[in-house]
Amino acid sequence: MNKLIAPSVIAADFAILGKEVQDVKDAGVDWIHVDVMDGHFVPNLTMGIPSVQALSKIDPPPMDIHLMIDNPEEFAELFIKEGSPHVKLLTIQVEACTLLHNTISNIKSQGVMAGLALNPATPLNVLDQVLPMLDVVLVMCVEPGFAGQKFIESSVNKIKQLRKIIDSMEPDERPLIEVDGGIKLNNIKKVSDAGADVFVSGSGIYATDNYKETVAEMRKLIGS
């Protein structure tokens, strides 16, 4: 599978969000990453169901929805429904969900990919009982909650360790490794070499002058 690039729309200009989404679509991205924050699980409020509904009306790239909220099991199905048919992946935080097996199964039953995100300090062993169920493991490379943070360098070793674990699994059970937080042109190759498959980049794309050139350069660096 080719490596994928997913701009995080939290870093876009919300005054012209529709245009910003279309511009990265024209730049040839694979997905768009939609950060949903509730002000409880993380200290920030961002996009919600109305935003996902609005995005679904403008023929966006496949949506990669990341729920950084308390009680994600109560809202996962609703986000999928309201973003249909454009929701490709729905990811929940392992730290926020006490019903992991049920929630992951429910997400997959809606016909979308199921992802599980780990904060920087969360060890990989939390995945032991659910890893074969997952389509994506999202390694957070910054503390969740705000765009524009500096990449945490220890994330590289975490990605390498996860790559070894996944490569030891049966081929049809291997989830993708997604990375989010501080991903830019100056470090995307290092993260790719560590074993990542999907690259979320907010300001690394949206803070540049030419999205198409930035995405093309990222593809060269990751060999996609």
Do 156 and 196 meet the contact criterion of CB atoms below 8 Å apart? no
Q: Encoding tokens for residue 108?
A: 């997959």
167 is catalytic: no
Catalytic residue among 30, 35, 64, 135: 35
Which strand ranges, in their side-by-side order, compose the sheet holding 32-37? 4-7, 198-201, 176-180, 136-140, 113-118, 87-93, 63-68, 32-37
What angle (nearest 5°) sits at the alpha carbon of residue 214, between those of residues 156 and 183? 20
Contacts (Cβ under 8 Å, ≥6 apart) of 43: 145
Catalytic residue among 30, 38, 64, 180: 180
23 is catalytic: no
Compute, in degrees rounded to 10, the torsion defined by CA atoms 210, 184, 191, 166.
-70
Residue 128 neighbours by CB distance under 10 Å: 8
Cite the active site residues. 35, 180
